[in-house]
């Protein structure tokens, strides 16, 4: 066709990226803010693959949609740039991490800009920038002053490969989350953050959040709150008392023995001369076992100490054992054992021939030849003295108070959450701003002296001794005490990578402020985050730490809210296909199945890639990259472009049909987008385009429909959207238009084809007017299937606009 300009993505995309740079489209005015945040990336040397892009595309589409709804966007990007890979690269190549990091940032920034993301680079932050980590350190100092950061010598998780301590959250299946090496225990002086002080609030406030239930559940489980009682057992013939924690105080009469963790402070001393050798051996062996060994030991082990404890309720002597199935750092490190009603205690009792006393009747009676523990708190109490006859479920709730009233112990709660091991023995992280003074102890570096700059070192290698490489720089380590002025030494441990990422979203709204972490007025205006988009891998670590930091900063008056992220969306991964098996596999260099967005953008354009990233599948599920699917999207954009160019200069009158198509299009796209069903938004565009292509051959498509389509499409394919808008005569950016609305009355069909079923099976169709009477529809329907109406009609069902079902016989 004459005058037809083919779709040239290169020309269009280049043109509009330049325009956006010259005339930013996101302007504040007096608009309300909308804060849409991406999880900021670690600037890896590999750059991004199409999987990383998925989240960025989703957040960009959502942001542009919000923009068309009239919001001013906070849509920033930054770099989580401290961490091991840069340091390991430095060790290998002798390049300072700050140099390799800067190079990687540059490359990834280029890639991200090709998504056409409207990131506001004026807000950019980098966790390794001293102006940034000054405030990371400042938060630590504040926590230290509030007693939330403290030092402790304790056995911690130690990764022998990374040569650093790890938080519990960083240990997966007994292995290092980062490198996969088996984690061992090491006694080290550590900086800890008292996140447990916030356990209750971290748990309760989950209710406030519009987050995936899965993530809330994971955090709930990680915090692991339980209700029960601490009960004091006197050691027979000695002055000591052993306190146990139990969630089942109702079964106290059934406690027939007690088990202590080998690490319990009384473990060794409970041994008698006869048992001493065996007890010491057991304690020693337990201390040598790694986490993995301990978890893999399915068979229970244990040793009798020779001592007995007195059950406070019935005065009975119960033997005290040691076993490593009891955890030293949960509860009190000691448990009372009720083998009749606990699986683990049952197994232990069976193995070592300990007595089993049932105290809850199952189905109203005592079980003969018990083969497994009865763990339900359901049934009447038996063998339980004055508790006999009570309901277990009731007693379970009341017993803690009863025990407390009698002076046998107290009502209590417990958490699985532990305090956060916060120090790392590595180089590339924020120095912990503490000075150790022989007289004053640990002293915080005065706030006006922050940041404590990370010094250059010659050797980045972790020492492996439990000291950071910083310890080798005498000139840096030796300083004076800020308190008394005497010679003192700097803390040489650094912070974990999580430190910088636990609060970065606050800094974006005031990233150049050198006097405050964030200006309060700006914080009140632009925070918190309305929508947070990122992978589910941060369900516990990053998201829990960020919530903790936010609550702390709220407590000390820096900000006015106590939850950072109102809404959270986890996008699925984009997998590659295994060349041989065809199975979905993570994209990785070693498998050679990485698809680079650079190649795709070059061949098909950024708009095509954006649409394919959405069309590939439901955004919350993992999906598989398919090059041919990518081509299909490209074909669609070409068809759309051709349809557009053939209609844009025609003078087409609005018909009822066109009006219907337009309203239905707005309805479909809007509702699907609101439901975050982004894959079906794209198919919705294809459907409407197919219809418009048909109309192009006959009546053509009117301007209003083309304009509406253009605005709807713009958040998804912004370059072509802008180009179409301009060609339709728009003088301002398409993103300064208003999101279209629909009129339901103009969407509906006058006539509808509905199915006619007999006994639930479709036997024909009938086209009826939507406002036809039931009797008329039924009559028409019966006419269609009259040959098949053999027998008696029992019931006739008509669901207007949907179906007729005739029930026979």
Partner RNA sequence: GCGGAUGUGGCGGAAUGGCAGACGCAGCAGACUCAAAAUCUGCCGGUGGCAACAUCGUGUGGGUUCAAGUCCCACCAUCCGCACCA
Q: What part of residues 669-708 is at the interface with RNA (CB under 7 A)?
A: 677, 679-680, 682-683, 686-687, 690, 693
In the shown chain, the binding pattern of residues 307 to 346 toward RNA, with x for contact by CB under 7 A and - for none, equals -----------------xxxx--xx-x-x------x-x--
Tokens of 41: 């990336």
Minimum separation from the CB atom of position 679 to RNA (A): 5
Minimum separation from the CB atom of position 458 to RNA (A): 38
In the shown chain, the binding pattern of residues 59 to 78 toward RNA, with x for contact by CB under 7 A and - for none, equals --------------------
Q: Concatenated DSSP letters for 116-127?
A: T----GGG-EET
Name the strand (E) or helix (H) holding 392: helix 392-405
Is position 628 an interface residue for RNA (rule: CB under 7 A)?
A: yes
Nearer to RNA, 160 or 629 (CB): 629
> Which residues inside 489-548 make contact with RNA, applying CB under 7 A?
536, 540
> Among 378, 594, 624, 747, which residue sits at the site for RNA (rule: CB under 7 A)?
624
In the shown chain, the binding pattern of residues 117 to 146 toward RNA, with x for contact by CB under 7 A and - for none, equals ------------------------------
- Taking residue 424's Cβ as centre, other Cβ atoms within 10 Å add up to 29
Minimum separation from the CB atom of position 197 to RNA (A): 17
Give start and end residues of each alpha helix (H) in 146-275: 199-204, 213-223
- Taking residue 590's Cβ as centre, other Cβ atoms within 10 Å add up to 6
Strand partners, 79: 126
d(CA 282, CA 323): 8
Of 346, 396, 352, 385, the closest CA to residue 367 belongs to 346
> Which residues inside 192-231 make contact with RNA, applying CB under 7 A?
213-214, 217-218, 221-222, 224, 226, 228
d(CA 139, CA 141): 5
Minimum separation from the CB atom of position 580 to RNA (A): 16
Task: Report in angstroms the alpha-carbon separations of 134 from 83, 430, 449, 699.
Answer: 17, 9, 9, 66
**Candidate segments 131-139, 493-501, 633-641, 773-781, binder of RNA by CB under 7 A:** 633-641
d(CA 586, CA 578): 9
> Among 623, 647, 663, 705, which residue sits at the site for RNA (rule: CB under 7 A)?
623
Nearer to RNA, 449 or 599 (CB): 599
**Candidate segments 203-211, 453-461, 516-524, 627-635, binder of RNA by CB under 7 A:** 627-635
**Which bin fits 807, alpha (ψ -120 to 50), beta or left (φ > 0)?**
beta
Nearer to RNA, 554 or 696 (CB): 696
Minimum separation from the CB atom of position 218 to RNA (A): 5
User: Which is it for strands 584-586 and 574-577: parallel, antiparallel or unpaired?
Assistant: antiparallel
C-beta separation of 165 from 184 below 8 A: no
Which residue's entry shows tokens 């199935």?
A: 325
CA dihedral sign, ordered 65, 66, 72, 76: negative
Minimum separation from the CB atom of position 615 to RNA (A): 7
> Which residues inside 350-409 make contact with RNA, applying CB under 7 A?
none
Minimum separation from the CB atom of position 51 to RNA (A): 14
Nearer to RNA, 221 or 732 (CB): 221
Q: What residues contact residue 99 under an 8 Å CB cut-off, 6+ apart?
A: none
> Among 350, 416, 436, 489, which residue sits at the site for RNA (rule: CB under 7 A)?
416
Nearer to RNA, 228 or 379 (CB): 228
**Candidate segments 141-149, 490-498, 515-523, 634-642, binder of RNA by CB under 7 A:** 634-642
d(CA 66, CA 49): 26
> Among 442, 455, 629, 730, which residue sits at the site for RNA (rule: CB under 7 A)?
629
In the shown chain, the binding pattern of residues 236 to 255 toward RNA, with x for contact by CB under 7 A and - for none, equals ---------xxxx-------
Is position 155 an interface residue for RNA (rule: CB under 7 A)?
A: no
| Per-residue DSSP letter, 81 | -
Is position 261 an interface residue for RNA (rule: CB under 7 A)?
A: yes
d(CA 609, CA 14): 15
CA angle 22, 23, 25 (to 5 degrees): 140
3-state SS class at 534: strand
Nearer to RNA, 481 or 541 (CB): 541
> Which residues inside 285-304 make contact with RNA, applying CB under 7 A?
294-295, 297, 300
C-beta separation of 308 from 236 below 8 A: yes
């Amino acid at each position: 066709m004459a005058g037809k300009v083919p779709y040239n993505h290169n020309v269009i995309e280049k043109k509009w990226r330049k325009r956006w740079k010259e005339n930013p489209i996101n302007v504040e005015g007096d608009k309300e803010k909308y804060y849409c945040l991406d999880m900021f990336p670690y600037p890896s040397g590999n750059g991004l693959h199409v999987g990383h892009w998925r989240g960025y595309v989703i957040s960009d589409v959502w942001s542009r949609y919000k923009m068309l709804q009239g919001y001013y966007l906070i849509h920033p990007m930054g770099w989580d740039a401290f961490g091991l890979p840069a340091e390991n690269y430095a060790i290998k190549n002798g390049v300072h991490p700050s140099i390799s990091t800067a190079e990687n940032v540059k490359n990834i920034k280029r890639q991200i800009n090709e998504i056409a993301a409207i990131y506001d680079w004026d807000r950019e932050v980098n966790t390794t920038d001293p102006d940034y980590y000054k405030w990371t350190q400042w938060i630590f100092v504040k926590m230290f002053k509030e007693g939330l950061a403290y030092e402790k010598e304790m056995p911690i998780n130690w990764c022998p490969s990374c040569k650093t301590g790890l938080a519990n959250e960083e240990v997966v299946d007994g292995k290092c989350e980062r490198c996969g090496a088996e984690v061992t225990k090491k006694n080290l002086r550590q900086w800890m953050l008292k996140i447990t002080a916030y356990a209750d609030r971290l748990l309760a406030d989950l209710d406030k959040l519009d987050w995936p239930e899965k993530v809330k559940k994971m955090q709930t489980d990680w915090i692991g709150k339980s209700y029960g009682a601490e009960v004091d057992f006197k050691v027979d013939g000695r002055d000591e008392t052993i306190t146990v924690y139990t969630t089942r105080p109702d079964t106290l009469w059934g406690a027939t023995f007690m088990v202590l963790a080998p690490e319990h402070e009384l473990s060794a001393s409970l041994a008698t001369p006869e048992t001493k050798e065996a007890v010491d051996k057991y304690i020693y062996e337990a201390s040598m076992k790694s986490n993995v060994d301990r978890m893999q030991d399915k068979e229970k082990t244990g040793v009798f100490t020779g001592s007995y404890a007195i059950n406070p309720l019935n005065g009975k002597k119960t033997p005290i054992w040691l076993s490593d199935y009891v955890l030293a750092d949960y509860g009190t490190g000691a448990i009372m054992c009720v083998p009749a009603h606990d699986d683990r205690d049952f197994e232990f009792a069976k193995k070592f021939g300990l007595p089993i006393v049932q105290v809850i009747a199952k189905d109203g009676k005592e079980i003969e030849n018990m083969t497994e523990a009865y763990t339900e708190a359901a049934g009447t109490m038996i063998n339980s003295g004055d508790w006999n006859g009570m309901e277990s479920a009731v007693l379970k709730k009341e017993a803690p108070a009863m025990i407390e009233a009698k002076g046998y112990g107290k009502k209590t709660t417990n958490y699985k959450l532990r305090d956060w091991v916060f120090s790392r023995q590595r180089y590339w992280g924020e120095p912990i701003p503490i000075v150790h003074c022989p007289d004053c102890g640990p002293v915080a570096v005065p706030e006006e002296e922050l940041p404590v700059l990370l010094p250059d070192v010659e050797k980045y290698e972790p020492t492996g001794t439990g000291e950071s490489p910083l310890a080798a720089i005498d000139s840096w380590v030796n300083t004076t005490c800020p308190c008394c002025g005497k010679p003192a030494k700097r803390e040489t441990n650094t912070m974990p990578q999580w430190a910088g990422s636990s609060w970065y979203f606050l800094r974006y709204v005031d990233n150049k402020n050198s006097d405050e972490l964030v200006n309060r007025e700006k914080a009140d205006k632009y925070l918190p985050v309305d929508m947070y988009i990122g992978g589910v891998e941060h369900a516990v670590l990053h998201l829990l730490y960020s919530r903790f930091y936010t609550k702390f900063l709220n407590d000390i008056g820096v900000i006015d809210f106590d939850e950072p992220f109102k809404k959270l969306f986890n996008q699925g991964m984009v997998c590659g296909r295994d060349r041989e098996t065809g199975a979905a596999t993570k994209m990785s260099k070693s498998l050679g199945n990485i698809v680079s967005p650079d190649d795709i953008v070059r061949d098909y354009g950024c708009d095509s890639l954006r649409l394919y990233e959405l069309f590939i599948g439901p955004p919350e599920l993992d999906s598989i990259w398919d090059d041919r699917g990518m081509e299909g999207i490209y074909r669609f954009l070409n068809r759309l472009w051709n349809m557009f160019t053939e209609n844009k200069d025609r003078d087409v009158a609005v018909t009822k049909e066109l009006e219907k198509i337009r309203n239905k299009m707005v309805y479909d796209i809007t509702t699907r987008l609101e439901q975050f069903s982004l894959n079906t938004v794209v198919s919705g565009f294809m459907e409407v385009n197919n219809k418009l292509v048909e109309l192009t051959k006959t009546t053509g498509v009117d301007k209003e429909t083309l304009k509406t389509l253009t605005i709807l499409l713009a958040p998804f394919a912004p370059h072509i959207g802008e180009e179409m808008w301009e060609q339709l005569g728009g003088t301002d950016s398409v993103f300064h238009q208003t999101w279209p609305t629909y009129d339901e009355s103009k969407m509906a069909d006058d006539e509808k084809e509905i199915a006619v079923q007999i006994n639930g099976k479709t036997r024909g169709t009938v086209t009826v007017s939507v406002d036809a009477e039931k009797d008329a529809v039924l009559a028409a329907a019966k006419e269609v299937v009259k040959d098949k109406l053999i027998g008696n009609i029992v019931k006739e069902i008509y669901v207007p606009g949907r179906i007729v079902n005739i029930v026979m016989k």
